[in-house]
């Protein structure tokens, strides 16, 4: 069969539900102006957070892979105005939550401390914690993951990219070092 | 050559799966053919703009412009095959409106271009058997098919030999084997599933999908290179389409004239001769109407579009649509019941992976109501699916950040296995299309209104799929099984068929056993509109075989001077 069945409309409700769209459903329009560009402090916050989610390792991290620019592009073209507003407001709430936890402005916070605070918040959100920032954080994380693994760095350096494999081997033994192959599954999952 | 300086033996309306076959067969029989395509010219290779593109070269990384899709492609974008790489092969819904009940939508997936939906089709090809052709007369739903397997078998052969079908022989009476190229291979988890399934249920079978994708060079076309997303187009011609195969074959004869951007409005009827005299079409770019004549007309515009043309071909003799003396034209619309997939985690096999993107999956042929009626519904379904190792996308769900998170996504994820049911839809008079004479498109053609809903038999069939899918996955040791009896809206299987059905009796059907209109002998309909029942197999192979058979019947009749 084609990918149609499993992948396109049906993963909804599963462990693999719609990436961004699902998170958007629960974001309601609120106070903040939806207009772009993002403010400088928003951009700095994004930069710090995306590189904590997908940091540099043996390959470059999210910032270098253009994830901040990708998020700005998506906010501008993918998001509707009400969604943009909700996202920016959620981001502000996220910043405040981090500030409360760190007892300082997160922008200049020391990386280790910020990472620890973000990891706690990440766990809480995925355990179902209700918070003003929860939806925005899920969107941010999904945008970061999508933006990174569909970038040239993410797809072809961090993962193995085989646009024209040439043949099919149905079953080969792999080592624990084997990189996963990039495959575009976004549309099918939405 | 300018079109109007020539005369034609045959006009073929539509250039998709069946239009390409009609053009090929008729020109190879020496007939001069005019092929009319309502959409734009698409050149094989050159216009496959998404082929092999990397996601980072696409503005929306392959997802497409959500806001533009919501505005211009609200129906098309629900099709699994439409995305940023393939969007040029789907119609703009706003420019090509039709009516359907929003609370019970029918999704009409369309591709207006040379090659039609043969560019984006699912490529799965299965023969029918007499279990299918005799089903209506056996259980009483729908009229009897005027043909049986033996009538179509030589044409299945002919089609398979030309298009190239890879698959495994299984010797199943209800899924006849064909002329196969070497089969693609099941991956390790699929092989495990096959063994477990066939051990637990000896009467069931799991086989690799039979697909119109080449596993070795064939008729001048190259074998698959396993890039994966065929629907972006394939310059190598590894999957069958009108552009890769039938239209080039028709061109070679020197008998084919193709006119694109030509929207057929109606078939003209000559009441003194009792025959169709030609068609009137609108040049979509200039808006000019033109009429062209031929000895025979083949409607291959797709199920709903061919019926729309017939309904709109109204005359004194046929006030309710050409060839509609039976009153059945537009009725008995079907689409396969496509269930939500059942899927699960398959533990183990962590040191095993595959290389390459196999554009094909496994197939579990129908096992219910085979040989004896043993279910609480009639007819049946087959299952289509595959096993994959999860990739980076698992990072979209669940907790985790930082180096550990990144390192875990760098490795292949757990194995998932899943499959959907594709089930038979009974022919129902109330599932139908009609014209809304008060609502017209930009060319003044009345819009189509589609009324469709699945019935109780389809619901029971989907419930059976849910139960059976869980049992089959459990038999293989799968964990975290998710299954439901939810089904996709009508149209989304893109197997819409019926509305100008074949039959033995001119009082209850539109076409005879040669796809020839009972009322108008030089008019043929060979696309999905002709279907009398839906069976449970993907239908395109049967459409192609019926088209080749009808085209040769028409060519014989012209030679004999009968048409």
The 3 state secondary structure assigned to A60-89 is CCCCCCCHHHHHHHHHHHCCCHHHHHHHHH
A122, B360: Cβ pair inside 8 Å? no
Contact B215, B183 (CB under 8 A): yes
Residue A34's pLDDT is 53
The predicted-structure confidence for B512-546, as pLDDT tens digits, reads as follows 999 999 999 999 999 999 999 999 999 999 999 99
Residue owning tokens 């189509």: B448
The predicted-structure confidence for B9-19, as pLDDT tens digits, reads as follows 999 999 999 99
A175, B351: Cβ pair inside 8 Å? yes
Assess whether pLDDT exceeds 90 at residue B159: yes
Assess whether pLDDT exceeds 60 at residue A14: no
Q: Tell me the C-alpha distance between B126 and B296, whole Å.
A: 29
Chain A residues within 8 A of B340 when measuring between CB atoms: 9-10
User: Cβ neighbours of residue A87 under 8 Å, at least 6 residues apart?
Assistant: A27, A75, A79, A136, A139, A140
CB atoms under 10 Å from CB of B284, counted, come to: 17
- Chain A residues 5-34 within an 8 A CB cutoff of chain B: 5-11, 13-17, 19
Chain A residues within 8 A of B236 when measuring between CB atoms: none
A186, B124: Cβ pair inside 8 Å? no
Of A16, A19, A77, nearest to B65 by CB-CB distance is A77
Provide the edge-to-edge strand list for the sheet that holds B296-299.
B256-259, B33-36, B10-13, B296-299, B523-525
Beta pairing partners, B11: B34, B297
A123, B407: Cβ pair inside 8 Å? no
Tokens read off for A148: 């990174």
CB atoms under 10 Å from CB of B158, counted, come to: 18
Residue B1's pLDDT is 42
Q: Tell me the C-alpha distance between A92 and A39, whole Å.
A: 11
Q: Spell out the domain ranges in chain B.
A: 7-123+240-335+429-452+493-559, 184-228+337-423+455-482
Instruction: Assess if CATH 3.50.50.60 describes domain B7-123+240-335+429-452+493-559.
Output: yes
CB atoms under 10 Å from CB of B279, counted, come to: 24
Beta pairing partners, B523: B297
Assess whether pLDDT exceeds 70 at residue A29: no
Does A128 contact chain B (CB < 8 Å)?
no
Q: Tell me the C-alpha distance between A151 and B108, whole Å.
A: 34
Residue owning tokens 């102006």: A33
Residue B7's pLDDT is 87
Mean pLDDT of A19-38: 50
User: Cβ neighbours of residue A27 under 8 Å, at least 6 residues apart?
Assistant: A83, A86, A87, A90, A135, A136, A139
Assess whether pLDDT exceeds 50 at residue A30: no
Q: Tell me the C-alpha distance between B116 and B252, whole Å.
A: 20
**Separation in Å, CA of B334 to nearest CA in chain A:** 19
Mean pLDDT of B107-134: 98
Mean pLDDT of B211-230: 97
Tokens read off for B30: 């020496």
Q: Tell me the C-alpha distance between B503 and B247, whole Å.
A: 30
The predicted-structure confidence for B334-374, as pLDDT tens digits, reads as follows 999 999 999 999 999 999 999 999 999 999 999 999 999 99
Q: Tell me the C-alpha distance between B414 and B462, whole Å.
A: 28
Chain B residues within 8 A of A57 when measuring between CB atoms: 403, 406-407
Q: Is B372 exposed, middle or buried (0-12, 13-18, 19+ CB in 10 A)?
A: exposed
Residue A62's pLDDT is 98
Q: Give the residue from B250, B252, B338, B337 showing the smallest Cα distance to B300.
A: B250
Helix B456-475 to helix B188-200 angle, to the nearest 10 degrees?
110
Least confident stretch, A4-18, A150-164, B142-156, B360-374: A4-18
Q: C-alpha distances in angstroms, A63 versus A54, A187, B247, B304, B350? A: 9, 24, 49, 50, 32
Band of residue A5 on the pLDDT scale cut at 50, 70, 90: very low
Band of residue B59 on the pLDDT scale cut at 50, 70, 90: very high
- Looking at chain A, the whole-number percentage of residues with pLDDT higher than 90 is 75
Cis peptide bond prior to A139, omega within 30° of 0: no
Regarding predicted confidence, which is higher, A16 or B434? B434
Tokens read off for B54: 């990397």
Beta strands at B207-208 and B362-364: parallel, antiparallel or unpaired: antiparallel
Residue B3's pLDDT is 53
Chain B residues within 8 A of A173 when measuring between CB atoms: 351-352
Q: Give the residue from B37, B33, B42 showing the smallest Cα distance to B251.
A: B33
Does A60 contact chain B (CB < 8 Å)?
no
Q: Tell me the C-alpha distance between B11 and B26, whole Å.
A: 10
Residue A183's pLDDT is 86
pTM: 0.95
Residue A12's pLDDT is 33
Assess whether pLDDT exceeds 60 at residue A7: no
Q: Tell me the C-alpha distance between A91 and A97, whole Å.
A: 10
Assess whether pLDDT exceeds 50 at residue B116: yes
Give, as one character, the DSSP assignment of residue B205. Answer: -
CB atoms under 10 Å from CB of B155, counted, come to: 22
The predicted-structure confidence for B283-295, as pLDDT tens digits, reads as follows 999 999 999 999 9
A78, B65: Cβ pair inside 8 Å? yes
Residue B5's pLDDT is 55
B185, A170: Cβ pair inside 8 Å? yes
Chain A residues within 8 A of B191 when measuring between CB atoms: 170-171
B60, A17: Cβ pair inside 8 Å? no
- Chain A residues 153-172 within an 8 A CB cutoff of chain B: 154-156, 158-159, 161-172
3-state class of B268 per DSSP? strand
Mean pLDDT of A113-139: 96
A168, B59: Cβ pair inside 8 Å? no
Residue owning tokens 């002919």: B158
Beta pairing partners, B181: B166
Contact B97, B441 (CB under 8 A): yes
Does A141 contact chain B (CB < 8 Å)?
yes
Mean pLDDT of B375-390: 97
Residue A189's pLDDT is 37
Tokens read off for B459: 């619901």
Residue A27's pLDDT is 40
**Separation in Å, CA of A125 to nearest CA in chain B:** 8
Does A46 contact chain B (CB < 8 Å)?
no
Q: What is the mean pLDDT of chain B?
A: 97
Q: How many CA atoms lie within 13 A of B228 on its CB side?
A: 21
Q: Is B427 exposed, middle or buried (0-12, 13-18, 19+ CB in 10 A)?
A: buried
Question: Roughly how many angstroms between the first and final C-alpha of chain A, as a whole number?
Answer: 19
Residue of A nearest to B350 (CA): A174
- Chain A residues 103-122 within an 8 A CB cutoff of chain B: 115, 118-119, 122
Contact B185, A170 (CB under 8 A): yes
Tokens read off for A175: 């080592």
Residue of A nearest to B231 (CA): A2
Residue A37's pLDDT is 79
């Amino acid at each position: 069969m084609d990918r149609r069945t499993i992948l396109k409309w049906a993963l909804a409700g599963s462990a693999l539900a719609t990436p961004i769209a699902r998170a958007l459903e629960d974001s309601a329009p609120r106070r903040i102006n939806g207009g772009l560009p993002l403010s400088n402090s928003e951009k700095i916050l994004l930069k710090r957070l995306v590189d904590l989610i997908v940091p540099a390792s043996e390959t470059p991290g999210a910032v270098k892979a253009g994830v901040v620019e990708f998020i700005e592009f998506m906010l501008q073209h993918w998001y509707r105005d009400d969604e943009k507003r909700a996202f920016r407001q959620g981001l502000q709430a996220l910043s405040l939550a981090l500030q409360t936890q760190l007892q300082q402005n997160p922008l200049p916070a020391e990386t280790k401390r910020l990472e620890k605070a973000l990891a706690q918040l990440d766990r809480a959100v995925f355990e179902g914690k209700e918070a003003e920032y929860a939806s925005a954080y899920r969107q941010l994380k999904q945008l970061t993951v999508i933006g990174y693994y569909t970038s040239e760095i993410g797809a072809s350096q961090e993962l193995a990219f085989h646009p024209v494999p040439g043949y099919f081997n149905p079953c080969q033994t792999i080592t624990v070092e084997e990189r996963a192959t990039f495959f575009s599954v976004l549309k099918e999952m939405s | 050559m300018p079109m109007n300086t020539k005369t034609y033996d045959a006009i073929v309306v539509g250039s998709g799966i069946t239009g390409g076959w009609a053009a090929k067969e008729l020109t190879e029989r020496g007939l001069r053919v005019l092929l009319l395509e309502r959409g734009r010219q698409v050149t094989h290779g050159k216009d496959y703009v998404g082929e092999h593109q990397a996601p980072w070269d696409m503005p929306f990384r392959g997802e497409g412009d959500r806001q533009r899709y919501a505005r211009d492609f609200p129906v098309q974008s629900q099709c699994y095959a439409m995305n940023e790489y393939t969007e040029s092969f789907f119609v703009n819904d706003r420019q090509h409106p039709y009516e359907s009940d929003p609370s019970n939508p029918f999704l009409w997936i369309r591709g207006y271009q040379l090659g039609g939906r043969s560019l984006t089709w699912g490529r799965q090809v299965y023969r029918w058997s007499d279990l299918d052709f005799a089903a209506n007369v056996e259980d009483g739903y729908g009229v009897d098919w005027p043909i049986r397997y033996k009538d179509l078998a030589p044409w299945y052969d002919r089609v398979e030999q030309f298009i190239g079908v890879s698959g495994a022989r299984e010797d199943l009476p209800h899924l006849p084997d064909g002329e196969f190229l070497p089969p693609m291979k099941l991956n390790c988890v699929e092989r495990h599933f096959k063994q477990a399934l066939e051990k637990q249920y000896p009467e069931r079978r799991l086989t690799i999908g039979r697909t119109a994708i080449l596993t070795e060079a064939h008729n001048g076309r190259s074998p698959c290179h396993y890039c994966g997303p065929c629907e972006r187009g394939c310059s190598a011609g590894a999957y069958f389409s009108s552009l890769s195969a039938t239209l080039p074959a028709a061109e070679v004869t020197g008998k084919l004239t193709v006119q694109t951007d030509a929207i057929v409005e109606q078939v003209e009827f000559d009441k003194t001769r009792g025959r169709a005299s030609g068609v009137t079409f609108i040049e979509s770019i200039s808006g000019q109407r033109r009429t062209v004549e031929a000895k025979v007309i083949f409607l291959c515009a797709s199920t709903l579009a061919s019926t729309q043309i017939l309904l709109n071909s109204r005359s004194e003799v046929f006030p309710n649509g050409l060839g509609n003396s039976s009153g059945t034209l537009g009725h008995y619309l079907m689409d396969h019941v496509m269930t939500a997939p059942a899927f699960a985690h398959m533990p183990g096999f962590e040191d095993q992976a595959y290389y390459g993107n196999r554009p094909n999956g496994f197939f579990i042929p129908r096992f219910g109501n085979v040989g004896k009626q043993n279910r609480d519904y009639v007819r049946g379904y087959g299952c289509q699916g595959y096993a994959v190792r999860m990739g980076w996308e698992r990072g979209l769900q669940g907790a985790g950040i930082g180096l550990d998170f990144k390192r875990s996504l760098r490795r292949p994820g757990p194995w998932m296995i899943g499959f959907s049911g594709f089930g038979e839809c009974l022919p129902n008079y109330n599932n139908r299309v009609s014209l809304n004479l008060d609502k017209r498109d930009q060319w003044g053609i009345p819009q189509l209104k589609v009324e469709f809903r699945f019935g109780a038999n389809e619901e029971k069939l989907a419930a059976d799929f849910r139960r059976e899918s869980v049992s089959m996955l459990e038999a293989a040791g799968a964990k975290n099984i998710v299954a439901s009896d939810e089904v996709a809206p009508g149209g989304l299987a893109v197997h819409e068929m019926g509305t100008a059905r074949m039959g033995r009796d001119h009082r209850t059907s539109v076409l005879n056993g040669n796809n020839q209109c009972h009322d108008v002998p030089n008019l043929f309909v060979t696309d999905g509109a002709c279907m009398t029942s839906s069976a449970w197999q993907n239908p395109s192979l049967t459409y192609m075989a019926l088209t080749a058979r009808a085209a040769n019947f028409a060519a014989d009749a012209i030679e004999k001077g009968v048409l």
